[in-house]
Amino acid sequence: MSQSESQHAESHNIENMLHEERLFPVPKAFKPQVSFKSEEEYLAAWNHAKDAPAEFWGQIAKENLVWETPFETVMQGDMPETKWFQGGKLNASVQCVDKHIGTARQNKAAIIWEGEPGDVRVLRYQDLYREVCKFANVLKTLGVQMGDRVTIYMPMVPELVIATLACARIGATHSIIFGGFSADAIADRNNDAKAKLIITADAGWRRGKEVSLKKTVDESLAKAVTVEKVVVYRRTGCDVEMVPDRDYWWHELMAKAQAECEPTPLDSEHPLFILYTSGSTGKPKGVLHSTAGYCLGAAMTSKWVFDIADTDTYWCTADVGWITGHSYVVYGPLSQGASILMYEGAPNWPDEGRFWQLIEKYRVSIFYTAPTAIRSFMKSGDQWPQQYDLSSLRLLGTVGEPINPKAWMWYHTIIGGERCPIVDTWWQTETGGIMLSPLPGVTATKPGSCTKPLPGVVPAIMSEEGEPLGDNEGGLLVMTQPWPHMLRTLYGDHERFKETYFSKIPGLYFAGDGARRDQDGYFWILGRVDDVLNVSGHRLSTMEVESALVSHPSVAEAAVVGFPHDLKGEGICCFVTVNTSTANPGEDLKKELINHVRKQIGALATPDQVRFAAALPKTRSGKIMRRLLRDIAAGKETIGDTTTLEDYNVVAKLRTEDE
Ligand code: WT7
């Protein structure tokens, strides 16, 4: 190959050099309860769904959803305009509650809840049913109708789930906003959705402090013109101002509400919810999900990936304000009749052992959390989990970003006692449910890989030009077939929807991640393609450099960004937080880390700068805000949207450390 040819070829693909060779078979102790039991079973289902998707999904939808009116067709139209289960009518709240009433599950705990101060509530399926019906009636008496949008801005209390399902019951489209967002962020989202009503609470508990919510809502209402009424749940009892004829107490309305409420039969494509997610630029995107397709996806993936059985106590630590909470706290597990644990507060309150203490106390068997949480637990030390009995755990999961092999190994040994499969689940707000993941009773795992596509998911790795790439070639991760739980549009902006997800490779779904598939058919996510560095003409995944850094014993967490470099085009800048045991990191450690990365990946990946930081700037969902770090690395003032930043002081500190 001539030099120009080779440069041409390189520019298409993402270099990937960190290859993890360890393979972990399904632990002997793990017996799948309701999920796939063998590789053959999985392959048969996967091939069936690929070759005859309408037949596959049609059969599954008949068996797994409760229909008021059966559907006539399974899928109609090409991606992105595919309509699913046309002619059918159903209600999402029926799939989560009514379905279990009159069965042995009606007296089973649906929600086991613990507040941050330690208060405990248990709602059986019958209790949840009654509360959802009552609150659905409350919404009706406040004038909410089918098709209206309702905003929910609440702490992690059972009433958050009740409000969500009550909206679904009357066909109001819910828009849940995470309780950490600012008044401006709420106002923008309310205006975009033209929300009629907002459900909130006086405050919630976080690290021993009251986080006021009603006050923030009040502030947002000065700018949100469509909101007519506010319902306030009393959680902490703090003082709030109630505006007559606008603000109503939850408990006063509920005291008068009827206990029965017929679910409204809704079209399969009826908009179940809008969830706002930030793009790299511009205003937040209102991802809209449907009723039938979304519910089916949440139900099936909960069954296949989490293997939820009646004997399980299931805990997904995500806030309901994120898609993970929608799909794997509410719609998925409740459709399976699961007993879910829900916890209000912070993982490190009153100390770093809180999560492990909760697992011991409630005998949690399935635990689903994020790599960023795992890394922060690792940083605080093994002595915390080691104080507790974690033997009830049988299955572990992760989501949100690639998990570096070091954190995977820690999760596997220290938390899972080497007896629990780890399901590394790749998906997005837009995909509605898990797309790539191990099946816990079938798939041998490789630390750092989300392994293989679930049935119904047909991914491909392509070059920028839309050419399929071969084994171990890094490229764009696309979906070549529609699936029931994919987003239907961006609320109010169908053009932006088509442009954002279906234009890079025309006709195929692409939502921004790079990946490679190895020789065994395993997928390795290389991060967002906007996080790709271009060092001397080589596209290099920032995630690989981060993973190499984190594999060094002194490093707790790392974030890598590019900065303009005269010679290389882009230089590599590494922000590193060290373990608590590493005192005063200095020049020696910097040199050591640079060599470490060189050794792990190669000379091409040699960091140009290493900067030690006390903490990294993260969004409230735990994603590192690389855009901010890029600005710092380039010596620029920070511009753009920082409304999702968890702790703004972190940025200020990084700047001063720079000077
Ligand atoms: C992005 C989606 C889906 C729930 C939480 C985040 C990254 C997610 C993984 C994983 C590697 C992952 C991707 C994706 N991501 N899960 N298991 N391995 N990367 O939802 O905010 O919509 O973010 O998170 O980059 O595109 P989201």
What is the residue with the minimal CA distance to atom 17 of ligand 1?
426
CB under 8 Å to 94, separation ≥6 — which residues? Answer: 66, 68, 263
Token digits for 264?
A: 């409204």
d(CA 584, CA 28): 44
Q: Does the beta carbon of 427 sit less than 6 angstroms from any atom of ligand 1? A: yes
Bigger pLDDT: 224 vs 159: 159
pLDDT above 70: residue 643: no
Q: Does the beta carbon of 428 sit less than 6 angstroms from any atom of ligand 1? A: yes
Distance from the alpha carbon of residue 7 to the mean position of ligand 1, in angstroms: 31
Asked whether 377 and 416 are in contact (CB, 8 A), the reply is: no
Q: Does the beta carbon of 448 sit less than 6 angstroms from any atom of ligand 1? A: no
Q: What is the pLDDT of residues 459-494, one digit of tens each?
A: 999 999 999 999 999 999 999 999 999 999 999 999
Over range 41-49, report the average pLDDT. 98
Phi/psi-derived region of residue 466, left when phi > 0, alpha when psi is between -120 and 50, beta in every other case = left
Establish how many alpha carbons lie within 13 A of residue 220's alpha carbon, considering only the half-sphere containing its beta carbon.
28
Over range 271-278, report the average pLDDT. 92
Q: Does the beta carbon of 400 sit less than 6 angstroms from any atom of ligand 1? A: yes
Distance from the alpha carbon of residue 623 to the mean position of ligand 1, in angstroms: 9
Give the Cα-Cα-Cα angle 282, 288, 293 (nearest 5 degrees): 150
Bigger pLDDT: 406 vs 233: 233
d(CA 568, CA 572): 10
Return the ligand 1 atom nearest residue 527 CA: 25
Token digits for 222?
A: 């000065």
pLDDT grade, residue 262 (50/70/90)? Answer: very high
Return the ligand 1 atom nearest residue 430 CA: 22
Q: Does the beta carbon of 424 sit less than 6 angstroms from any atom of ligand 1? A: yes
User: Among candidates 294, 226, 288, 326, which has minimal Cα distance to 492?
Assistant: 288
Return the ligand 1 atom nearest residue 403 CA: 18
What is the residue with the minimal CA distance to atom 14 of ligand 1?
428
pTM, to two decimals: 0.87
pLDDT above 60: residue 655: no
- β-bridge mates for residue 558, sequence order: 576
Over range 294-320, report the average pLDDT. 98
d(CA 499, CA 497): 6
Q: Does the beta carbon of 401 sit less than 6 angstroms from any atom of ligand 1? A: yes
- Kindly list the distances between the CA atom of residue 473 and the CA atoms of 14, 121, 426, 466, 514, in Å, as whole numbers in the listed order: 7, 51, 19, 14, 10
d(CA 15, CA 473): 7
Token digits for 613?
A: 């930081």
Return the ligand 1 atom nearest residue 424 CA: 17
Class of domain 3-10+531-658: alpha beta
Bigger pLDDT: 17 vs 492: 492
What is the residue with the minimal CA distance to atom 20 of ligand 1?
428
Distance from the alpha carbon of residue 359 to the mean position of ligand 1, in angstroms: 25
Q: Does the beta carbon of 438 sit less than 6 angstroms from any atom of ligand 1? A: no
Q: What is the pLDDT of residues 183-202, one digit of tens each?
A: 888 999 999 999 999 999 99
User: Among candidates 152, 433, 196, which has minimal Cα distance to 300?
Assistant: 433
Q: Does the beta carbon of 278 sit less than 6 angstroms from any atom of ligand 1? A: no
Distance from the alpha carbon of residue 84 to the mean position of ligand 1, in angstroms: 25
d(CA 606, CA 597): 6
Asked whether 514 and 85 are in contact (CB, 8 A), the reply is: no
d(CA 453, CA 436): 4
Q: Which of 525, 541, 543, 621 has most ligand 1 atoms within 8 Å of CB, for mutation?
A: 525
The pLDDT > 90 percentage for the chain reads 77
- φ, ψ of residue 456 to 5 degrees: the values are 95, -10
d(CA 435, CA 337): 22
Number of other CB atoms surrounding residue 403 within 10 Å = 26
CA dihedral 349, 580, 316, 515 (to 10 degrees): 150
Bigger pLDDT: 512 vs 484: 484
Over range 584-589, report the average pLDDT. 89
User: Among candidates 307, 311, 340, which has minimal Cα distance to 325?
Assistant: 340
Distance from the alpha carbon of residue 324 to the mean position of ligand 1, in angstroms: 10
Residue 588, classified by CB atoms within 10 Å of its CB into exposed (0-12), middle (13-18) or buried (19+), is exposed
User: Among candidates 396, 443, 437, which has minimal Cα distance to 415?
Assistant: 396
d(CA 196, CA 633): 43
Over range 291-305, report the average pLDDT. 98
Distance from the alpha carbon of residue 189 to the mean position of ligand 1, in angstroms: 22
Q: Does the beta carbon of 289 sit less than 6 angstroms from any atom of ligand 1? A: no
pLDDT above 90: residue 394: yes
Q: Does the beta carbon of 423 sit less than 6 angstroms from any atom of ligand 1? A: no
> What pLDDT was estimated at residue 455?
98
Asked whether 314 and 333 are in contact (CB, 8 A), the reply is: yes
> What pLDDT was estimated at residue 599?
83
Asked whether 555 and 625 are in contact (CB, 8 A), the reply is: no
Q: Which of 320, 426, 449 has most ligand 1 atoms within 8 Å of CB, for mutation?
A: 426
Distance from the alpha carbon of residue 399 to the mean position of ligand 1, in angstroms: 6
> What pLDDT was estimated at residue 659?
29
Mean pLDDT of the chain: 91
Q: Does the beta carbon of 426 sit less than 6 angstroms from any atom of ligand 1? A: yes
Q: In this predicted structure, which of 259-263, 380-384, 595-599, 651-655 has the lowest mean pLDDT?
A: 651-655
Return the ligand 1 atom nearest residue 450 CA: 17
Asked whether 586 and 599 are in contact (CB, 8 A), the reply is: no
Q: Does the beta carbon of 476 sit less than 6 angstroms from any atom of ligand 1? A: no
Return the ligand 1 atom nearest residue 528 CA: 25
pLDDT grade, residue 2 (50/70/90)? Answer: very low
Return the ligand 1 atom nearest residue 511 CA: 26
Domain with CATH 3.30.300.30 in the chain: 3-10+531-658
pLDDT grade, residue 529 (50/70/90)? Answer: confident
DSSP annotation of 281: S
CB under 8 Å to 81, separation ≥6 — which residues? Answer: none
| 3-state secondary structure string across 478-532 | EECCCCCCCCCEECCCHHHHHHHHHCCCCCCEEEEEEEEECCCCCEEEEEEHHHE
> What pLDDT was estimated at residue 18?
67
Distance from the alpha carbon of residue 398 to the mean position of ligand 1, in angstroms: 10
Over range 524-543, report the average pLDDT. 80
> What pLDDT was estimated at residue 657?
42
Q: Does the beta carbon of 323 sit less than 6 angstroms from any atom of ligand 1? A: yes
pLDDT above 90: residue 552: yes
- Tell me the Cα Rg of the chain: 24
What is the residue with the minimal CA distance to atom 23 of ligand 1?
428
d(CA 347, CA 520): 37
Q: Does the beta carbon of 425 sit less than 6 angstroms from any atom of ligand 1? A: yes
> What pLDDT was estimated at residue 637?
57
CB under 8 Å to 169, separation ≥6 — which residues? Answer: 91, 92, 93, 132, 133, 136, 261, 263, 264
Distance from the alpha carbon of residue 325 to the mean position of ligand 1, in angstroms: 13
- β-bridge mates for residue 204, sequence order: 211
> What pLDDT was estimated at residue 9?
36
> What pLDDT was estimated at residue 6?
35
Provide the 3-class DSSP secondary structure of residue 198. strand
CB under 8 Å to 659, separation ≥6 — which residues? Answer: none
Asked whether 485 and 288 are in contact (CB, 8 A), the reply is: no
Q: Does the beta carbon of 324 sit less than 6 angstroms from any atom of ligand 1? A: yes
Q: Does the beta carbon of 528 sit less than 6 angstroms from any atom of ligand 1? A: yes
What is the residue with the minimal CA distance to atom 5 of ligand 1?
400
The pLDDT > 70 percentage for the chain reads 93
Helix/strand/coil percentages in the chain, nearest 5: 35, 25, 45
d(CA 207, CA 350): 7
pLDDT grade, residue 603 (50/70/90)? Answer: confident
Q: Does the beta carbon of 407 sit less than 6 angstroms from any atom of ligand 1? A: no
Instruction: State the amino acid at position 615 in one-letter form.
Output: A
Residue 237, classified by CB atoms within 10 Å of its CB into exposed (0-12), middle (13-18) or buried (19+), is exposed
pLDDT grade, residue 8 (50/70/90)? Answer: very low
Domain with CATH 3.40.50.12780 in the chain: 31-346+421-530
Class of domain 31-346+421-530: alpha beta
Distance from the alpha carbon of residue 428 to the mean position of ligand 1, in angstroms: 5
> What pLDDT was estimated at residue 21?
82
d(CA 39, CA 442): 6
pLDDT above 60: residue 5: no
